[in-house]
Amino acid sequence: MDSFNYFILARSVHVLGVVAWIGGVAFVTTILIPSLIKITDSENRLELFEQLEGRFAFQARFVTLITGASGYYMLDIMNAWERYQHIQFWWMHLMTLIWGIFTLVLFVLEPLFLHRWFKEKAIKDSDGAFMWLHRMHKVLLSLSLLAIVGAVSGSHGFQF
């Protein structure tokens, strides 16, 4: 296999990672959190959330690594680092920003304090905590979808 084929493999892995990752974020945002908000027993709600999101967080960590590594590999093969200096490659900036936010949240903030902080917030004011959680997920999902549209169009030659 020459490097061209490795490049195509990296692109496929990248897109698979994006599908599993952002698809999961879409499920959590549009189905899971709205269903949890409907549960009136706040203790039950928190327990269910911790069980379900905990499983997804493990998967999300794995796909974040794969998506980042395959993206880095493609950039390196194309030697396209200078794209970060041009505004028409805004989708490259956005992809990288989203990756950075998720990496920070999943690998640093959540294990350090976010998990504990959210649990305490949810025990004090369950409705408020879950509304906040929903808002954060909606912002991240919207940015991710925008990055996907920009990246697919941009990498196939279309400029907005």
CB 84 within 8 A of CB 93: yes
Judged by CB under 6 A, the residue of 72, 90, 109, 110 near ligand HEM is 72
Q: Give the burial class of 84: count Cβ atoms within 10 A of its Cβ; 0-12 exposed, 13-18 middle, 19 or more buried.
A: exposed
Cβ neighbours of residue 123 closer than 8 Å, sequence gap 6 or more: 46
Rounded least distance, CB 57 to ligand HEM, Å: 16
Residue nearest to ligand HEM (CB): 71
Least distance CB 86 / ligand HEM (angstroms): 12
- Segment interacting with ligand HEM (CB under 6 A) among 11-19, 31-39, 115-123, 132-140: 11-19
> Shortest gap between Cβ of 140 and ligand HEM (angstroms)?
10
H or E element: which one contains 153? helix 126-155
Amino acid at 96: T
Q: Is the separation of the CB atoms in 154 and 91 below 8 Å?
A: yes
Q: For residues 24 and 68, which CB has a smaller minimum distance to ligand HEM in the complex?
A: 68
DSSP 83: G
Residue 54 C-beta: closest distance to ligand HEM, Å? 22
Q: Which of 25, 33, 49, 68 binds ligand HEM (CB under 6 A)?
A: 68
CA dist 23 and 145 (Å) reads: 10
Residues that bind ligand HEM (CB under 6 A): 11, 14-15, 18, 22, 67-68, 71-72, 74-75, 95-96, 98-99, 144, 147-148, 151-152, 155
